[in-house]
Amino acid sequence: MPILLSEQDVRAVLSMDDLIDAVEQSLAQYSTGRARQPLRNVLQVGAQHAFHAVMPAFIEQPATLGTKIVTVYASNSARGLPSHLATIVLLDPETGALRAIIDGRYITEARTAAASAVSARHLALPDARVLAVIGSGVQAHSHIEALVRVRPIEEVLVWGRTRAHVDALVAELTPHTTATLTAVDSVERAVRDADVIALVTASREPVLPRAWVRPGAHVCAVGACLPDQREMDTALVKDSRVFVDSRIGALAEAGDIVIPLSEGAITEQHIAAEIGQVIAGTAAGRLSPDEITVFKSLGMGVEDVAAARLAWERAAEKGVGREFQL
């Protein structure tokens, strides 16, 4: 009988450490042809340019099949709702029968940060100690939680447009990490000395120029998810060794890459590799201590269904969730 897992259930059974490992495996499987997903199907909704996307995926090992249905409404904050809402339908890969309906809001938040942590594990300098976080929403929270797990981060500098939100984030996380968290008054102050930079904003225009990024830094760019949005300027993308979660997805949807392409500043070959290729050892990662590396993430269905399967397995082990019959 299928089960229903609420966000509370998912949080109870999924740890960030487990998610990082599961996402790493799913990315490697995708880039080596052992996982399949189409380009997500996106529908724009209403005058507020909200969007609704459908993201099916299949992973060969362990066999996993499912679909995430996700919406992004920037206007939700005024209603006291999260901007990103999602539901994941997990199916039996042998029969197609329903296994679970799983709240996907937290999975979307956490697996996005887990993917960034995977990129930092493989691309950031091993002794990276300073993390800059640009943004103060749920992704800022989850990225701090994830990135301190893969590098010896000692200092986290956080900037956001609303200082009260930044202060609240710092106060909330300070008791839960050994790193020192500090709110700063400008993006430049946050990133100038950063070894790892997490861009987790809702900006449609660049917030991070090349001039502020030090040699050897690693940038996780996750906020801009449409072809006309970007968080990095063209010069930064051009001067960096760029990695993506999906080459097909990035060339179709990632404004951080699509816009420099349209300007003629880079070619498609500027994408060094998918991060899954680096994980699998079929492509080189960082080539020198001084090079800037960028991981441009859009999020993928294979990450979602891998996380959903993990939640389903853990829930079964712990007796979490509610059985139901359609």
| Residue 149 clears pLDDT 90, i.e. is over it | yes
Burial 187-196 (b: 16+ CB within 10 A, else e): beebbbebbb
Spatial CA neighbour of 158 closest among 121, 147, 325, 86: 147
Cβ neighbours of residue 285 closer than 8 Å, sequence gap 6 or more: 122, 123, 243, 273, 278, 293
- What's the CATH code of the domain at 284? 3.40.50.720
Number of structural domains (the chain) is: 2
pLDDT at 72: 87
**Is there a single domain that holds both residue 33 and residue 146?**
no
**Is there a single domain that holds both residue 184 and residue 59?**
no
| Cis geometry, peptide bond prior to residue 152 (ω within 30 degrees of 0) | no
pLDDT digits (tens, 9 = 90+) for 240-290: 999 999 999 999 999 999 999 999 999 999 999 999 999 999 999 999 999
pLDDT at 210: 97
**Mean pLDDT of all residues in 189-211:** 95
**Is there a single domain that holds both residue 12 and residue 54?**
yes
**Is there a single domain that holds both residue 176 and residue 311?**
no
**Is there a single domain that holds both residue 295 and residue 307?**
no
**Is there a single domain that holds both residue 209 and residue 141?**
yes
**Mean pLDDT of all residues in 184-190:** 97
The token pair at 293 is: 């590396």
pLDDT at 50: 86
pLDDT at 42: 86
**Mean pLDDT of all residues in 5-25:** 96
**Is there a single domain that holds both residue 274 and residue 253?**
yes
pLDDT digits (tens, 9 = 90+) for 31-54: 999 999 999 888 888 777 788 999
Asked if residues 121 and 150 have their Cβ atoms less than 8 Å apart, the reply is yes
Cβ of 98: how many Cβ atoms within 10 Å?
Answer: 17
**Is there a single domain that holds both residue 103 and residue 193?**
no
pLDDT at 126: 97
**Is there a single domain that holds both residue 285 and residue 316?**
no
Q: Which domain holds residue 151?
A: 115-299
Asked if residues 196 and 118 have their Cβ atoms less than 8 Å apart, the reply is no
Cβ neighbours of residue 171 closer than 8 Å, sequence gap 6 or more: none
**Mean pLDDT of all residues in 5-34:** 96
Cα dihedral 185/117/258/283 (nearest 10): 140
**Mean pLDDT of all residues in 181-201:** 97
pLDDT at 56: 97
The token pair at 176 is: 């839960």
**Is there a single domain that holds both residue 53 and residue 83?**
yes
Share of the chain above pLDDT 70, in %: 100
pLDDT digits (tens, 9 = 90+) for 58-114: 999 999 999 999 998 888 888 888 888 999 999 999 999 999 999 999 999 999 999
What phi and psi values does residue 62 have, to the nearest 5 degrees? -70, 145
Query: Which residue shows structure tokens 């490992």?
Result: 21
Asked if residues 303 and 59 have their Cβ atoms less than 8 Å apart, the reply is no
**Is there a single domain that holds both residue 99 and residue 124?**
no
**Mean pLDDT of all residues in 217-237:** 93
- What's the CATH code of the domain at 55? 3.30.1780.10
